[in-house]
Structure 1
Amino acid sequence: MRIAILGHVRQRIAQPFAGGMESHCWHLAAGLQARGHDVILFASGDSDARFTIDPVLPIHYEATFPWAEHRGSAPLIAHLDGGYEAACDRIAAGGFDVVHNNSLHRFPLEPRQTAAVPTVTSLHVPPYDALHWFVRASAVPTHRLTVTSAGQLAAWWPEGAPPQASVLHNGIDPALWPFVGQGDGSAAWCGRMTPNKGPHLAAQAARIAGMPLTLFGPIEDPDYWHAEVAPLLDGTIRYGGHLDGAALAAEIGRASVFVFTPCWDEPFGLVAVEAMACGLPVAAFDMGAAREVIGEAGCFAPAGDVPALAKAIIAARALPRHLPRQRVERAFTRDIWLDRCEALYRDVATTRPSLAA
């Protein structure tokens, strides 16, 4: 199939990944290419050059619109609208069989766009005002909508999801996250350094549990980092940097437990699945999709309860390491995910007006 992948342009689609959305888009493009599809990645022009890129914007927008200026910025909105409008026009004229939309932008959701090219939209976030109405109005025969967890499905459609919407769990390549049979007694945390990811709470809980902790990931919110996280760093709580996939997998695999601290309705939790593939049981706040994703491979604490999370860290460390790896192999592999993507593409492609007439 000839497939357009329309990405989010806040960050580059390249390693080291800024977050789960960038990882999702990169592995989607790479996986579909490996399966023989003709893939064009519509993303920022500074994304990974191994892909054929049709730039939505010349460079990712954080390069010109700093993190603190995102919300309600009229120049940024105009910048994005111009880029996505032109990209949607090129996709409509590009002879694509399907577009997989990961953009979180309203233009690709419009019925005139999905009528031009059958579309699969993956929603990576809980419902929010700027996109909510457009998503709900976009459930038409030429459009399939996916979310990453059952909880997220209920959040977007509390009255019941339309037939065009379904759960599509994210998947990883287990070979990229090698299983390690024994940890070194430490804990690991990974994610963007922002308040809604809660690294400061992970550090506090690890200190109570008496377990060394290494934090990995990009410092997205410098003010938060300097005020809440950096003061907690010492001999046992350390920052390991923002690493590419292979280096991060090696570091995570050495630990004995992974700490997962969503402070919002996390739709999935890709970092937890990556750690589980390495054999790490997870100590997590019971929020968002955490329990749905982690299941028997972890121990849970009420959201925001640091002393309870410390107890969960100690309890999770005692779980057999084969449990998390087996859960990933059973439910969250890249092949399972790509098989489902291809099934969605075939399904929605049959709705082309020329075929349905």
Structure 2
Amino acid sequence: MNISVPKLKILILSTPVGALGSGLGGGVELTISNLAHELQSRGHTIEIIAPAGSHLGDLSIIQIPGELQLTAQTQEQAAAIVMPGDPVLANMWATARSIQHDYDVILNTAFDWLPFYLTPFFDTPVAHFVSMGSQIAAIDTAIERVAIDYPGTIGVCTRTQAQTFSFADRCCVVGGSGVDPAVYQYCDAPENTLAWLGRISPEKALEDAVAAAERTGIKLKIMGKIQDPDYWAQIQRDYPRAPIEYLGFLPTHELQQALRTCKGMLMTPRWVEAFGNVAIEALACGVPVIAYRRGGPAEIITDGKTGFLVEPDRVEGLVAAINRLAEIDRADCRHAAETVFSQAAWGTVMENWFVRLVV
């Protein structure tokens, strides 16, 4: 028997660390875009609140001015909560509170203290999509209070991510994102090149991928926003002979064109990655993923079938896996993206989560 799903009006609040479309928000940008498009296709009404200058194709965005917030991953565990003088985060949530009664549910995608603190001041249910593991103790405490007082409202990407928090059993595992396979072109005849995608900042450990490219002599295509210019400059100084090419921060249609022809993609996070949107983008192109056995990627990649999981922080493990890429059937990678990690499958999970909070 088919159960009718009520059509919802959903307000999504974006990350306050950068305008949508700038690349500063990392995987959250793709998450919001894919979720909004999927839910709209199901008849739900979607509105997004984001920093001024945001753009996500044809999606409706309420542009909010103000100073951007520091990213949590650049701060220490014991860091104090800090906000600029005219915080875009506070401005976004003030706007949300003023229009909250026009919506059935509010989705928070900001990993910051303020949205959790403000939850009791909202009448409309707030679902919190937590896209990082434990980073700052003060934020952990704020999330835990919401998890206790508002059961079922804390959504995380993976079990591995949840386990970084002391309140893991109070989290709902809802996945990190999903891809529309129609947007990504499958390639079964790759070139002898590798790819690395992500924000260029120390916790992503790009230098390990560059070192692996240098040892194998295989060209590495690097795609992503340079968040830490000094870090990027240091990598270039440390590996002057590495066969690397920086392609910049690319929109999806250009990214998949560059990615699909690669024989493999490397994921080298130094921290516990909550999910790994770039992994499912690679799979959608038929590109096997070589990742450290740490965090979300370890729950995405099936070792020996859609890529390889290697010992964390070991360049020699990356090199050994690169030499085994021919063992992977690229069709298996594409199949995983079309089924387990499809936008439609993830949309159903998120839709069900929202309905539970509303009814």
Flag whether TM exceeds 0.5 (same fold). yes
Give CA-to-partner distance per residue, 1:196-238, whole Å, 9 cap, x none: 1111110101221232211111111001011124653557222
- Offset at residue 241 of structure 1 (A): 1.8
Q: Which residue of 1 aligns with 2:28?
A: 21
Which of 321, 334, 345 is matched with 2:343 structurally?
A: 334
Structure 1 residues 235-268: Cα deviation after superposition (integer angstroms, max 9, x where no partner) = 7222122211101100000111111111100111
Counterpart of 2:218 in structure 1 is 211
Q: Whole-Å Cα distance in 1 between the matches of residues 53 and 176 of structure 2?
A: 28
Q: 2:329 aligns with which of 320, 327, 333?
A: 320
SS in 2 for 1:239: strand
Matches of 1:17 and 1:319, distance apart in 2: 33
SS in 2 for 1:188: strand
- Pick aligned residue for 1:184 from 157, 179, 191: 191
Q: In structure 1, what is the Cα distance between the partners aligned to 2:201 and 2:156?
A: 23
* C-alpha contact 1:205 1:306 (8 A) present in aligned 2: yes
Q: Counterpart of 2:211 in 1: which secondary structure?
A: helix
Of 53, 56, 61, which residue of structure 2 is paired with 1:53? 61
Deviations along 1:101-157, one digit per CA (max 9) or x if unpaired, are 112233432475475111221110002223101111112447521111111122224
Partner residue in 2 for 1:104: 111
Q: Is the 8 A contact 1:218 1:242 kept in 2?
A: yes
Could you tell me how far apart the structure 1 residues matched to 2:353 and 2:248 are?
A: 37
Cα distance, 1:89 vs structure 2: 1.8
* C-alpha separation in 2, matches of 1:335 and 1:260: 25
**1:281 equivalent among 280, 285, 288:** 288
Is residue 256 of structure 2 the alignment partner of residue 249 of structure 1? yes
Q: What does 1:1-357 correspond to in 2, within 5 Å? A: 1-14=8-21, 18-48=25-55, 50-55=58-63, 57-58=64-65, 61=68, 74-76=82-84, 79-80=87-88, 82-92=90-100, 94-110=101-117, 113=120, 116-128=123-135, 129-139=137-147, 140-141=149-150, 144-157=153-166, 160-162=168-170, 165-229=172-236, 231-232=238-239, 234=241, 236-295=243-302, 296-350=305-359
Whichever structure has more helix as a proportion of its residues is 1
Encode CA deviations 1:172-210: one digit per residue, 9 max, x unaligned: 111112111110111111111111111111010122123
Give the aligned residue type for 2:358.
A
Distance 2:118 2:223 in 1: 41
Q: For the structure 1 residues 34 and 306, does the alpha-carbon distance in structure 2 shift closer, same or farther, using more than 3 Å as the test?
A: same
Task: Name the amino acid aligned to 2:211.
Answer: Q
TM-score computed with the length of structure 2 as normaliser? 0.87
Change (3 A) 1:222 1:299: same
**C-alpha distance in structure 2 between counterparts of 1:59 and 1:314, whole Å:** 49
The one-letter amino acid of 1:300's match is L
Q: In the comparison of the two structures, how many residue pairs are matched?
A: 344
Distance 1:28 1:266, change over 3 A: same
Structure 2 gap ranges (5+): 1-7
- 229 and 199 in structure 1: CA distance in 2 versus 1, 3 angstrom threshold: farther
Residue identity opposite 1:184 in structure 2: E
What is the RMSD of the two structures over their aligned residues, measured on CA atoms?
Answer: 2.7
**Contact 2:212–2:316 (8 Å) recurs in 1:** yes
Task: Find the aligned partners of 1:33 and 1:230 in 2 and give their Cα distance.
Answer: 47
319-328 vs 73-82, greater mean Cα deviation: 73-82
